[in-house]
Structure 1
Amino acid sequence: MSPDTVRAPSWPGYAEVHRVTTLLRRESVGGMLLVSAAIAAIVWANSPASDAYFALRDVRFGFASWHLELSVGAWAADGLLAVFFFLVGLELKREMVAGSLRRFDTAIVPVTAAFAGVAVPALIYVAVVHTQPSLLAGWAIPTATDIAFAVAVLALVGSHLPGPLRIFLLTLAVVDDLIAIAIIAIFYTSDISLLPLAVFIVLVGVYGVIAHRGRAWFARTPWGAWVVLLPIGFAAWAFLHASGVHATIAGVALAFTVPVAASRRRPQTRGMDLAEQFEHRFRPLSAGIAVPIFAFFAAGVSVGGGDGLLRALADPVTIGVVAGLVLGKPLGILLGVRLLTLVTRVRLDPALKWIDLAGVGLLAGIGFTVSLLIAELSFPAGSPHTDDAKIAIMVASLVASLLASAVLLVRNRRYKQLALAEEVDADGDGVPDVYQQPVDRDR
Structure 2
Amino acid sequence: MYRVWNFLVSYSLLLIGGSVIALIWANIDAKSYHHFVEFVIWDHAPIGHLHDGHRTLTLHYLVNDVLMALFFAIAAKEVWEAIILENGSLRGKKAATPLFATAGGMFGPIAVYLGLAMILGSETYDAVANGWAIPTATDIAFSYLVGRMVFGSGHPAVRFLLLLAIADDAAGLIILAIFYPSGDLAPEWLLLSFGASLAVFLAFNALPRKMDSGNQDRPNSTWVRKYLGFWPYVLGGCISWYGFMRSGLHPALGLLPIVPAIPHADRAFGIFSEAEQYLTDLLNVMEHALKHPVEIVLFFFGLCNAGVEFSSIGDATWLVLAGLIIGKPVGILIFGWVAAVPLRLGIPEGMRIIDLVVIGFVAAIGFTVALFVASVAFDAGPVQDAAKMGALFSFGAAILSIIAGKVFRVEKQSL
TM-score by length of 2: 0.83
Can you list the C-alpha shifts for 1:86-106, whole angstroms capped at 9, x where unaligned?
Answer: 011111111121544353211
**Residue segments in structure 2 that go unaligned for 5+ positions in a row:** 49-55, 210-220, 270-274
What letter matches 2:254 in structure 1? A
Aligned to 1:67: 47
1:188–1:264 Cα change, 3 Å: closer
State the partner residue of 1:393: 391
How much has 1:367 moved relative to structure 2? 0.6
Q: CA deviation at 1:363?
A: 1.0
Identity of aligned residues (%): 27
C-alpha distance after superposition, 1:43-84 (max 9, x if no partner): 01111x432221110012247352333221121111121111
Match of residue 115, structure 1, among 103, 113, 120: 103
1:44 to 3, 18, 25: 25
In structure 2, distance between residues paired with 1:387 and 1:299:
9
Please give the residue correspondences for 1:195-210 in structure 2 after superposition, counting only pairs within 5 Å. Answer: 195-210=188-203
- C-alpha displacement of 1:27: 6.2
Which of the residues 139, 148, 151 maps onto 1:146? 139
Q: Does 1:301 align with 2:332?
A: no
Question: Aligned AA for 1:300?
Answer: G
Q: 1:158 to 1:64 in 2, by over 3 A?
A: farther
CA RMSD of aligned residues (A): 3.1
CA-to-aligned-CA distance 1:150-179 (integer Å, 9 cap, x gap): 1233345554442x3222111111111111
Residue 391 of structure 1 and its aligned partner are, at CA, apart by 0.8
Equivalence for 2:284: 276
Q: Is the 2:105–2:136 Cα contact (8 Å) retained in structure 1? A: yes
| One-letter amino acid of the counterpart of residue 348, structure 2 | D
Q: For 2:89, what is the secondary structure of its paired residue?
A: helix
3-state SS in 2 of match to 1:70? strand
Per-residue Cα deviation, 1:224-270 (whole angstroms, up to 9, x for no partner): 32x432232122212211221101222322223223323469x5784
2:299 to 254, 267, 292: 292
Structure 2 CA distance for aligned equivalents of residues 180 and 380 of structure 1: 20
1:51 and 1:218 map into 2 onto residues whose CA distance is 54
Aligned counterpart, 1:178: 170
Contact 2:127 2:383 in 1 (8 A): no
Who is 2:238 aligned against? 234
User: Partner of 2:229 in structure 1?
Assistant: 224
Q: Distance in 2 between matches of 1:105 and 1:294?
A: 37
d(CA) in 2 for partners of 1:410, 1:281:
42
- Residue 117 of structure 2 corresponds to 129
Q: Distance in 2 between matches of 1:35 and 1:268?
A: 25
Partner residue in 2 for 1:29: 10
Residues 167 and 222 of structure 1: CA distance in aligned 2, closer, same or farther (over 3 Å): farther
CA distance in 1, matches of 2:342, 2:367: 33
Deviates more, 1:211-220 or 1:67-76: 211-220
The answer to whether the aligner puts 1:57 opposite 2:37 as a matched pair is yes
Corresponding residue of 1:77: 64
Q: Is the 8 A contact 1:147 1:170 kept in 2?
A: yes
Counterpart CA distance in 1 for 2:234 and 2:38 is: 27
Show the counterpart of 2:327.
328
Decide whether aligned partners of structure 1 residues 390 and 342 sit closer, same or farther in structure 2, where only a CA change above 3 A counts.
same
Name which of 389, 399, 402 aligns with 1:402: 399
Following superposition, the deviation at residue 23 of structure 1 comes to 12
Cα distance in 2 for partners of 1:277, 1:405 equals 36
